[in-house]
Amino acid sequence: MKIITIIGTGYVGLVSGAGISDFGHNVVCADINEDKIKQLINGQIPIYEPGLYDLVDRNVKHGRLSFSNDIAGSIENSDIIFIAVGTPEGANGTSDLTAVYEVARAIGNSLNGYKVVCTKSTVPIGTGAEILKIIKDTNKSKNDFDYVSNPEFLREGSAVKDFLWPDRVIIGASNEKAFDFMKDVYRPLYINETPIIETSIETAELIKYASNAFLSVKISYINEIANICDAIGADVHVVSKAMGIDGRISPKFLHPGPGFGGSCFPKDTKALIAMAEALGTDVKVVESAIEANQSQKVRMVNKLINLFNDDVHGKTIAILGLSFKAQTDDVRESPAINMIAALKDRGAIIKAYDPVANENMKKIFNDLDIYNSWEDAVCDADGVVIMTEWNEFRGLDLPRLKDLVKSPNILDCRNILNIDDLESLGFHYDNVGRKKA
Ligand code: UDX
């Protein structure tokens, strides 16, 4: 059993801390944000993440998980310290590492014995070397320590599952002692034969970006195939199914949509491009994926406007789904932002509903007319657009929708509605690469 501090209580830090405590270790989730720590101590989870409340509650009750604002004290009492603070997008696609370096200095100042320092946050290749240097420069006690890169592959909305049952664990380190410490952290996974890949620090840092950027490329690729399907009247669901049967391609991340969003893909793809340029090379495939992604968001706006013969001025449009994907309240880089901005520019009247992300989108558009049900949002609308694949939209009662709207126009940006039902009910509809009437 190890004593572990996780610094940063966002969805990566909190999920990882609760998950590691569930593996049987003694974990402190530490943060400088006093409100966040107060909420956590009071049993409130400051983020929307399915299953996280139960995971935290179970381990707090077993005395394995606690929360603290005392960063220095937590570090001093720990065997392993995880850096899990935010690395937001900085200038021209680079990552803002201010918080990471601040934590590195705090660790250096609090080293009172051998410890493993592990970065869980997504950091550009070479950041490990910089963190090592900062800790060495601030390590007044001259105590020994080792540095490890242990990138996360958590998806918002399924982060608990992704942590407890990962496809693989990546450990980048430079000696056996550090590898052994980390294998002890993930022992329950080790026992059920989850692949644990031991490699260098820089390789571990690259694996994270290479994985995320590839998934982004895959999404932009199927979006562009969907656009060809639109042009020839083919069905992209048949194409992606047939592609996915090929084990080399896999069916995952082959769902066309309005473009990828979130706090990771847009940031990580730009960061990889910036890294490549700094290293005198490039990743043109990733550059194209970003370009295709921006085009996809614009394409959705044009599809909606086409439903109204290019004029939405004065039309009431109901937007169902504001988060960048289902099962999260996160609206960062959500395609719904582009849709709302474009419709506002064209004089449309917008009514919006999302099961959990209403308030977050209202922080971006403070005049957004938000509703607490899809029925209220679509009532008397001239058109409806589905931006997020929430289950409640997958099971939309289409006859009821038809009765509530003023005109039966609908754009399904997630291909979740049954085309035959839309047809038989007389909807004027469009989607992303599926058969049209
Ligand atoms: C991603 C990575 O999946 C995860 O491994 C990493 O740790 C963090 O970034 P996340 O951004 O939370 O996770 O969500 P993800 O499920 O990957 O979706 C990202 C975006 O791609 C969303 O906008 C989603 O709607 C879109 N997407 C995903 C598609 O458009 N089609 C797909 O088939 C899959």
The answer to whether 405 and 385 have CB atoms below 8 angstroms apart is no
pTM of the model: 0.96
Alpha-carbon gap, residue 394 to 324, rounded angstroms: 16
Cβ of 336 closer than 6 Å to ligand 1, yes or no, is no
pLDDT at 437: 57
- At 332, list the tokens: 């960062």
The answer to whether 422 and 436 have CB atoms below 8 angstroms apart is no
Element (H, E) at 115: strand 115-119
pLDDT at 315: 98
Q: Atom 32, ligand 1: which residue's CA is nearest? A: 253
What is the best residue among 207, 264, 272 to mutate for testing ligand 1's pocket, by most ligand atoms within 8 Å of CB?
A: 264
What CA–CA distances, in Å, run from 139 to 69, 144, 147, 173, 377?
21, 9, 13, 19, 57
The answer to whether 334 and 323 have CB atoms below 8 angstroms apart is yes
Tokens 């080293």 -> residue: 111
Cβ of 89 closer than 6 Å to ligand 1, yes or no, is no
The answer to whether 404 and 379 have CB atoms below 8 angstroms apart is yes
Name the 3-class secondary structure at 266. Answer: helix
Name the 3-class secondary structure at 94. Answer: coil
Cβ of 257 closer than 6 Å to ligand 1, yes or no, is yes
Residue 29 a catalytic site member: no
What is the best residue among 253, 269, 300 to mutate for testing ligand 1's pocket, by most ligand atoms within 8 Å of CB?
A: 253
Cβ count near 318 (within 10 Å): 28
The domains of the chain, with CATH numbers, are 3-199 (3.40.50.720), 215-430 (3.40.50.720)
Instruction: State pLDDT tens for residues 291-329.
Output: 999 999 999 999 999 999 999 999 999 999 999 999 999
Which atom belonging to ligand 1 lies closest to the Cα atom of 122? Answer: 7
Q: What is the mean pLDDT of each run of 10 residues along the chain (437 residues)?
A: 95 97 98 97 95 98 98 97 94 90 96 97 94 95 95 97 97 97 94 93 97 98 98 97 98 98 95 95 98 98 95 97 98 98 98 98 98 98 98 97 98 97 96 86
Cα of 175 to ligand 1 centre, how many Å? 33
Q: Atom 15, ligand 1: which residue's CA is nearest? A: 155
- At 399, list the tokens: 């006859």
pLDDT at 192: 82
Cα of 226 to ligand 1 centre, how many Å? 18
The answer to whether 121 and 264 have CB atoms below 8 angstroms apart is no
Cα of 316 to ligand 1 centre, how many Å? 30
Q: Atom 33, ligand 1: which residue's CA is nearest? A: 253
Tokens 């090929």 -> residue: 246
Alpha-carbon gap, residue 15 to 150, rounded angstroms: 14
The answer to whether 32 and 70 have CB atoms below 8 angstroms apart is no
Exposure b/e, 215-247, CB count within 10 A at least 16 = b: bbbbbbbbbbbbbebbeeebbbbebbeebbeee
> Alpha helices, DSSP H only, in 233-278?
236-244, 265-278
Which atom belonging to ligand 1 lies closest to the Cα atom of 151? Answer: 7
Cβ of 11 closer than 6 Å to ligand 1, yes or no, is no
Which atom belonging to ligand 1 lies closest to the Cα atom of 262? Answer: 11
Instruction: State pLDDT tens for residues 311-321.
Output: 999 999 999 99
Single-letter residue type at 389: E
The answer to whether 108 and 135 have CB atoms below 8 angstroms apart is yes
